[in-house]
Chain A
Amino acid sequence: MFPNFQYLQKVLRNILLCSLYRILGKLKYPNKILPKSNFKNLIEFDSLFKSQSVYLLRRSDLSLDLTFNTIGDLYTLKEDILSLSDIPNMSVNLIGGKFKIKHAKFIIDIKSDACKKWDGKSSVFLSDHIESYSIADALCHIFIDPTNIHELNIPYDKPYDKNLENLLKSLEIDIKPENKKYHFTGKIKFVSEPANLNYWHFELKIYDFKNEPIDYKSSAWLKELCRQILCDVVSVNTSPLVPSVVKIPSKFYKK
């Protein structure tokens, strides 16, 4: 009973403090985009993506003409908009659920606990994080259509080495080296990465043939190739306009 009492006390404290902060104008962050105890650990993007059209959103602090190229009647994202640290593991927000376009103005401090991955079970109390975000209107919205991105295959090479050969044998993967190189296929995927202050946070990652996030620390060539392909694919599949946002049914995020 004692832990439950403590929890109740914390819930009440959070409600009271948040109400007070909101009255004083010190709190504007939307409670509705926080993870809830009745939410699933992760949103299964594969099944959501297969069942309906979805869009992901990023903000830009630059104007439309400095964010997008206009090529004929086509928009492509300027690559400078994506910083080196964005690729891979590019942060995006899933819209169609509780996260609305207007929420893009809230920027979570990446060094704070608010930005850390939600543990999938704890309640998050907004009153603990009132100093962990800032507000700035986005000068331009970047809408990402995942149709041509999610599950996209990326070919990449790895030089032959004995350890890799042994690993492939153990995994019963029948790939033979050609000219002392193995030719593999990686995959680009959108993955649910709920943060303490944003349940709708996703990341764009590249997975290797073992279905693990790709490790290209040893090769500048491989890093550049993977990075560039990802940038190109994202750049071509973004727009400052979104045709219509289809509502995400609660079965995809509620337990």
Chain B
Amino acid sequence: MISPEVIEKSETQLLNVPVRIEQISLSGQAQDLIQKCYSSNEFQESYWALVLADLNDLNQKSMKIKSSDSSGQASIVQETLPTYFENNLQHIKDSFSKELSLKKDSIKDSLSLITETFDRISKFISELNFEFGNVEIINSNKLKFTLLFPGKKLLLITKSIFPERIDFSSDEVIFSFFINRKLIASDVSEFPVLTKGFKKYLAM
């Protein structure tokens, strides 16, 4: 059994270094990791979903859990997130809070959906090494991130709160990339794919 006390204690240990865990499964290795994280010898398979949910809830700031492997055979991948990650996340969270307070009356009905969407996408976006970031809530149904990078590179990412209404999948965003205000590329992409690809581009 994993008691809430143990989870709380372990979370602190876990957050000392921002980590990303991908493809955690119920293999022996995964159990070892969870036991290590939670300092518990009583980890049971049935608590896997609970652990995942708790990790997601408790580690919004620094941990991204992509998925578990249904076969139970996948290996564990840990990746230290960039040092700027938490600063970036805080930066866009501040911008988001400012926008929320500005538009609180007009977004009452979709507030939870807006916040949920922001939480989901902001962690990915914070992995990009931007200089300045801005968040807009548009017409109560879209979130727009504007990110400025060195060399007057500007990335605009727009995520609909109701993607199904415009025939988009839940992860799809529209992005536009500019250098010196000139449009270089614009398209639809899934945001995990976009941020991963853009990170690669920035590192080139």
Which of A102-153 touch B at CB < 8 Å?
A: 145, 148, 152
- B109 contacts the other chain (CB 8 A): no
Q: Quick check: which of A1-9, A34-42, A70-78, A200-208 contacts chain B, the rest being far away?
A: A70-78
Q: How far is the CB of B47 from chain A (nearest CB, A)?
A: 41
With A74-B148, A74-B154, A236-B181 as contacts: A229 and B174 at CB distance below 8 Å = yes
Contact with B along A220-253 (1 / 0, CB 8 A): 1101110011001101110000000000000000
Check B186–A148 contact: CB distance below 8 A. Answer: no
One of B136, B168, B176 near A69 (C-beta < 8 A) = B136
One of B134, B139, B174 near A228 (C-beta < 8 A) = B174
Which of B156-204 touch A at CB < 8 Å?
A: 156, 158, 160, 165-168, 174, 176, 178, 181-183, 186-188
Which of B85-134 touch A at CB < 8 Å?
A: 131-134
| Secondary structure call for the A interface | helix
**Nearest CB in chain A to that of B140: its residue:** A80
Check B176–A233 contact: CB distance below 8 A. Answer: yes
One of B132, B144, B183 near A79 (C-beta < 8 A) = B144
Residues of B with C-beta under 8 A to A185: none
Check A76–B146 contact: CB distance below 8 A. Answer: yes
Residues of A with C-beta under 8 A to B152: 74
Check A229–B176 contact: CB distance below 8 A. Answer: yes
Check A69–B134 contact: CB distance below 8 A. Answer: yes
With A80-B139, A236-B178 as contacts: A224 and B146 at CB distance below 8 Å = no
Contact with A along B21-60 (1 / 0, CB 8 A): 0000000000000000000000000000000000000000
With A224-B166, A225-B188 as contacts: A71 and B178 at CB distance below 8 Å = no
- A11 contacts the other chain (CB 8 A): no
**Nearest CB in chain B to that of A224: its residue:** B166
Q: How many A-B residue pairs have CB under 8 A?
A: 74
Residues of B with C-beta under 8 A to A72: 131-132, 148
Interface size on B, residues (CB 8 A): 29
Check A84–B139 contact: CB distance below 8 A. Answer: yes
- B138 contacts the other chain (CB 8 A): yes
Residues of B with C-beta under 8 A to A229: 174, 176, 183, 186
Residues of B with C-beta under 8 A to A223: 166
- A33 contacts the other chain (CB 8 A): no
One of B133, B166, B176 near A232 (C-beta < 8 A) = B176
A220 to B167, CA, bound (A): 7
Contact with B along A148-171 (1 / 0, CB 8 A): 100010110000000000000000
Check A220–B136 contact: CB distance below 8 A. Answer: no
Which of A35-84 touch B at CB < 8 Å?
A: 69, 71-72, 74, 76, 78-80, 84
- A31 contacts the other chain (CB 8 A): no
Check B168–A221 contact: CB distance below 8 A. Answer: yes
**Nearest CB in chain A to that of B150: its residue:** A72
One of A78, A84, A236 near B154 (C-beta < 8 A) = A236
Residues of B with C-beta under 8 A to A69: 134, 136, 146
Q: How far is the CB of A179 from chain B (nearest CB, A)?
A: 15
One of B133, B144, B167, B186 near A154 (C-beta < 8 A) = B186
25 A-B Cβ contacts within 8 A?
A: A69-B134, A71-B133, A71-B148, A74-B154, A76-B146, A78-B136, A79-B144, A80-B139, A145-B181, A148-B182, A148-B183, A219-B167, A220-B166, A221-B167, A221-B168, A221-B188, A224-B166, A224-B174, A225-B188, A228-B176, A233-B176, A236-B156, A236-B176, A236-B183, A237-B181
Q: Top 9 A-B pairs ranked by shortest CB distance?
A: A232-B176, A221-B167, A72-B132, A224-B166, A228-B174, A220-B166, A71-B132, A79-B138, A229-B186
